[in-house]
Structure 1
Amino acid sequence: MMAFYRDERAARRLPALLPVKSQDVDEGYRLVGPGGRLTAVVVHVQWVDNHPAGPDTHVVVSLEDGSDIEFPFGVPLTAVWHAERRPLDPADVAAAAPASWGRPL
């Protein structure tokens, strides 16, 4: 597993299921994906400057498993810190599943 240069204690002070917009996804988190499944850990987030819709309109999220997902800005997502130790209620995780998902690259 990669090392994430983030204050682990600060991450634990946030809610276990953290609502974020697609452009605010951060490295070291897992996303709640379709069907309520958690993704691999986010290792890189890149705002797309040369997107046909214009600069700063889309973001590419790279996951530890090698997959990349492109999201338009403003998509509501839910993030979970990769080392979250608090129990996650499966019903809460299922309820946090996104209504829309990005495009795999």
Structure 2
Amino acid sequence: MVAHYRDEKAARALPALVPMHSQHVDEGYRIVAPDATLTAVVAHVQWLDNHPGGPDTHVMISFEDGANVEFPFDVPLTAVWHDERRAIPSADLAAAAPATWRTPAGRWK
């Protein structure tokens, strides 16, 4: 399990569903996937400096289950703190789900 250094108390003070852009996703969150489920916890976020689109244009989000997903900057996502204890209605998750993600970038090593 990854150690999360973010302020847990501050994270719990936010709404359960937190809208954010892809480049602002932080470790310790789970992201609402296109199928309206929550991903594994975000373990690492890396801005891709050597991306063909140029530096500071794409981000690689790596999850605790080893999956990676690459996003261009400014993709709207919805995140949930990993230790969220409030119930989130499935209708709210469905409304927050993106239409699609790009192809996963492969397993994180």
TM-score computed with the length of structure 1 as normaliser: 0.96
In 2, Cα distance between equivalents of 1:3 and 1:35? 27
What does residue range 1-105 of structure 1 map to in structure 2 within 5 Å? 1-105=1-105
RMSD of aligned alpha carbons: 0.9
Give the CA deviation at 1:99.
2.5
Give the CA deviation at 1:6.
1.3
Aligned partner letter, 2:52: P
Give the CA deviation at 1:103.
3.0
CA deviation map 1:23-46 (0-9, x unaligned): 000000000001101100000000
Identity %, equivalent residues: 69
Give the number of aligned pairs.
105
TM-score computed with the length of structure 2 as normaliser: 0.93
CA deviation map 1:41-96 (0-9, x unaligned): 00000000000010000000000000110000010000000000011011001100
Q: Which moved more, 1:2-11 or 1:44-53?
A: 2-11
Aligned partner letter, 1:2: V
Q: Which runs of 4+ in 1 moved over 2 A?
A: none
> SS at 1:35's partner residue?
coil
In 1, Cα distance between equivalents of 2:26 and 2:85? 18
